[in-house]
Amino acid sequence: MSRPAHKRPEYHKINKDLFVLTYGALVAQLCKDYEKDEDVNKYLDKMGYNIGTRLVEDFLARSCVRRCHSYSEIINIIAQVAFKMYLGITPSVTCHNSSRNEFSLILHKNPLAEFVEELPAGRSALCYCNLLCGIIRGALEMVHLAANVTFLQDRLKGDSVTEIGITFLKKLDEKKYRRKK
């Protein structure tokens, strides 16, 4: 076995940059391969979905999260545990409606777009971070929580914050879960 590398503080930043830079190169490649922004968005969402279906296993293994009993509890887990674990940020959470199945994650910082000043010319409809929507949707689906996940606001499009909207599609059966506990 090789000698363990000494832990320089800048190495941690480089490791983080590796994902962000790789993602940037991927988006650039997809913009080259596809003419339409919606095709790139769809592709990123699909890749994100495939990643999310696997990432949720890693997340459940690392964290000690147990079964949630409400959508707001689930959203708080996503914002305070999952985003913190994988991206090092903690988005704010807002709820949109009285039936409490529509939420938003407000990203005040967006590490995925750290090196992006603005969208490429002629790509105004591109959702640069659409991979995140796919990841969240794929992860939730693996724990039987069907959801629509879309960007409602995007700093790269001139908005003041980046906002991810999450709408749960099925009614959460609280009695059923309470019985199993």
Partner 1 sequence: MADAVLFEFLHTEMVAELWAPDPDPGSGGKRRSLSVLEGLGFRVGQALGERLPLETPAFREELDALKFLCRDLWAAMFQKHMDGLRTNHQGTYVLQDNSFPLLVTMGSGPQYLEEAPKFLAFTCGLLCGALHTLGFQSLVTASVASLPACKFQVVIQKS
Q: Could you list the residues that contact partner 1 (CB under 8 A)?
A: 1-6, 8, 10-11, 13-19, 21-23, 25-26, 28-29, 32-33, 43, 47, 50-51, 54-55, 58, 62, 84-88, 131
Q: Which of 126, 134, 122 is nearest to 37 (CA)?
A: 126
Q: Which residues pair with 104 in a beta bridge?
A: 94, 165
Shortest approach of partner 1 to residue 81 CB, angstroms? 11
List phi, psi (to 5°) of 163.
-125, 125
Shortest approach of partner 1 to residue 181 CB, angstroms? 28
Compare residues 16 and 96 and give the one whose CB is closer to partner 1.
16
Shortest approach of partner 1 to residue 9 CB, angstroms? 10
- Give the C-alpha distances (Å, rounded to integers) separating 85 from 18, 46, 55, 130, 162: 16, 22, 12, 19, 19
Compare residues 28 and 146 and give the one whose CB is closer to partner 1.
28
Compare residues 19 and 177 and give the one whose CB is closer to partner 1.
19
Shortest approach of partner 1 to residue 3 CB, angstroms? 6
Cβ-contact 93, 79 below 8 angstroms: yes
Tell me how far apart the alpha carbons of residues 54 and 72 are, in angstroms, rounded to a whole number: 23
